[in-house]
Structure 1
Amino acid sequence: MNIQLALDRMSIQEAIDMARWTEPYIDWIEVGTSLIKEFGMASVEAMKREFPGKVIVADVKTFDNAIYEFELCYRAGADVATVMGASPPVTVDLCIKTARTWGRQVMIDLLHTTPEEQAALARYREAVHCRHVSKDQQENGTHLTGTGAYGNAPGTGDALTGNRRAAPSGAPGSASVSPAELRIAAAGGIILDSLPGLLAMKPEVIIVGSSITKAADPVAAARSFQDCIRKLGRR
């Protein structure tokens, strides 16, 4: 499992400093949506310039205008760019094709997708499929427990993906693809105690934000995540 450090709601320099402090314990660096919205592609360029050996993720959350936005990310140095799985199918398809042209990667954010939509997206086996609890869900309605934001919130469907309940179990077209068949990432409210429960998904990427960036000692927090993942991996 790779640790992806999510950097949001800070300046570019603060993001660089945070990544520098925790660099020995993280694998992927996410230039968060808030950084991109506030500072544009300069934030992606700066992160790739400072950390050329790390996988840089531009969390642009594309919903339309796929080719233009993904080329912006890749031109700025991103290794991975994100598209919302709930966007029009043509948008996801164009993101995948653009990534292939550039020799880069796509992360599909499954936030607020139905089981049917996830099944359709599963044809993109080369993409990383991100199961995501949104910030708003974490702060305004999704019940958080000691294992993180991975319970069901009434009316919201699966809190891990933010799914809409479009069809009951067993209904035609509602079959989902086994996570074992896909490259999986998990994001949203992840704490150390979340990690054992996430192993069942066999995630390739664990995305951690405030549990590291808002910790009293971010370096110690990042080290703890790395140590825990290594111990779990040896079981």
Structure 2
Amino acid sequence: MQVALDLLETDRAIQIAKEAVEGGIDWIEVGTPLIKSEGMSAIRRVRKEFPDYTILADMKTIDTGSMEVEMAAKSGADVVMILGNSDESTINDSVRSAHRYGVKLMADLMSVDNPVEQAKHLEEMGIDYINVHVGIDQQMLGYNPVQLLNDIIGAVNIPVAVAGGLDEKTVSEIVDAGADIVIVGGNITRSDNVTEAAKKIRSSVESPSKSGFLKQSLDDEIYELFMTTSTPNISDAMHRKGAMQNIRPLVRDTKMVGRAVTVQTFEGDWAKPVQSIDTAKPGDVIVIYNGSKHIACWGGLATFSCLNKGVAGVVVDGAVRDVDDITNIGLPIFASNTVPNAGDPKGFGEINSEIICGNQTVKSGDYIIGDNNGVVVVPKEHAYEIARRAKEVEKGEQRLYEEVKRGRTLSEVAQLNKWEKQ
């Protein structure tokens, strides 16, 4: 069981590694981001702190194989990671350098075109371990290392490692499939309780057949991820995009997640907004452009009517009325204004056309997430990726909260002076 220290600061990495060791970690990986940030000194410091543990340096070498293997070996690494799609000259030179300095080589199959054939060839060339690796960005798109693992296990006779978003659920499946080494990164290092997270994964490694975890459908997984992450985390995952402007919750302390049923209407015309309730399916969110902040197109009766269809919530770029009734009903309603007066049902507008709401483009089927902070829109074609990335943002913040709780300031933890743009 290997923990990947894919951080930027050596001090933080060492503290997290100490907590992970208490949870049952066997190998410690000095990750590529840490090596790029701190250089070989990161490997030296980790080696000094953990003299009795196997240290892997994820160099991701693709050229100058001999030099980079030598650097890592002299800095204290026991195993050096190179890229499996490196040129043969680089691989051969890496193998010779590894023999010379007494270290082992692991080849990473991330983004290799013919991974099974390449794995067999790498073994023939003298590689000691194969790493079936789905990269972080690929994980966000739903790629799963299990899909490749069985083929690799049957093709080589050397130990096989697996990396790629592993947690206590997926580790069990990986071990059952025959993996020799499981590599876990963010699900340990970004936890607010690293030791406990490592212990849970260790338990799955030790008793894989007892896990009993059930697979979710993709839609269910997206829904669960959005329900358990905040709109700020989701906006961060979208590079600070997607947040509706001037849209506020009328009902506090509620969470709304669903697919958009869009409504274009005008100046308090409430016909299409009300008709959209009939169009909506259970779990959908009705998203309305009203055209006026001074004439309401939505109120208490429409909100109550949503309960019959199981509508998850409503967003109105414009005015809403009957605030007391809406609060008592409790359905999540978000709007840019509240007024007493309503318009008339004239029937102008469209349902499920592309609209602008809160200065964000919304299409039918896009994911709409709302909480006390406001509302974000996630394009349906990127929903799974954004949901996964938002969860990673949340994990990172949980770890920062834990480190600040221990007495350091946020500036000290984030090392802002070091990372200011020069």
Does the pair score TM above 0.5?
yes
**TM score, norm. by length of structure 1:** 0.81
- Per-residue CA deviations over 1:81-109 (Å, capped at 9, x if unaligned) read 11101010121121112111111111100
C-alpha contact (below 8 Å) 2:60/2:82 kept by paired residues? yes
**AA paired with 2:72?**
C
Aligned to 1:181: 157
Structure 2 residue 10 is the aligned partner of structure 1 residue 12: yes
Query: Would you say 1:129 and 2:133 are equivalent positions?
Result: no
Matched residue, 2:188 = 212
For 1:220 and 1:80, locate their aligned partners in 2 and report how far apart those are by CA, in whole Å. 27
For residue 53 of structure 1, give the secondary structure of its aligned residue in structure 2.
coil
In structure 2, what is the Cα distance between the partners aligned to 1:151 and 1:79? 27
Consecutive unaligned residues of structure 2, counting only runs of 5 or more, are 212-422
The alpha-carbon distance between structure 1 residues 216 and 69, as it changes in their structure 2 partners (threshold 3 A), is: same
Q: Which residue of 2 aligns with 1:74?
A: 73
- Offset at 1:228? 1.8
Q: Deviations over 1:85-138 (max 9, x none)?
A: 101012112111211111111110011221332231131465110000011111
Report the equivalent of 2:121.
120
Number of residue-to-residue matches in the alignment: 208
Task: Write out aligned runs for 1:1-235 (5 A).
Answer: 3-24=1-22, 25-113=24-112, 114=114, 115-124=116-125, 127-139=128-140, 142-143=141-142, 149-150=144-145, 178-179=154-155, 181-232=157-208
* C-alpha spacing 1:181/1:220, structure 2 compared with 1 (3 Å): same
CA contact 1:126–1:183 (8 Å) conserved in 2: no
- Kindly provide the amino acid, as one letter, of the partner of residue 117 in structure 1: Q
> 1:208 is aligned with what amino acid?
V
Structure 1 74/21 Cα, relative in aligned 2: closer, same or farther at 3 Å? same
Supply the AA of the counterpart residue of 2:119: Q
Over 3 Å counting, the alpha-carbon distance change for 1:65 and 1:181 in structure 2 is same
Aligned to 1:168: none
Q: Which amino acid aligns with 2:7?
A: R
Residue identity (%): 30
Which structure has the larger Rg over C-alpha atoms? 2
Secondary structure at the residue paired with 1:181? coil
Q: Whose RCO is larger (CA < 8 A, sep 6+)?
A: 1
The residue matched to 1:123 in structure 2 has which SS?
helix
The 1:74–1:176 alpha-carbon spacing in structure 2 relative to 1, beyond 3 Å, is closer
Aligned to 1:166: none
- The change in CA–CA distance for 1:54 and 1:234 in structure 2 (over 3 A counts) is farther
Question: What SS class does the counterpart of residue 7 from structure 2 fall into?
Answer: coil
Find the aligned partners of 2:21 and 2:153 in 1 and give their Cα distance.
Answer: 34
1:12 to 1:83, Cα distance in 2 relative to 1, 3 A: same
Amino acid at match of 1:23: V
CA contact (8 A) 1:8 1:31 kept: yes
Residue aligned with 1:122, SS = helix
Secondary structure of residue in 2 paired with 1:143: coil
Gaps of 5+ in 1: 153-157, 162-174
Confirm or deny: 8 A CA contact 1:179 1:202 kept in the other structure.
no
Deviations 1:14-45 (A, max 9, x none): 00000111213101000000000011000000
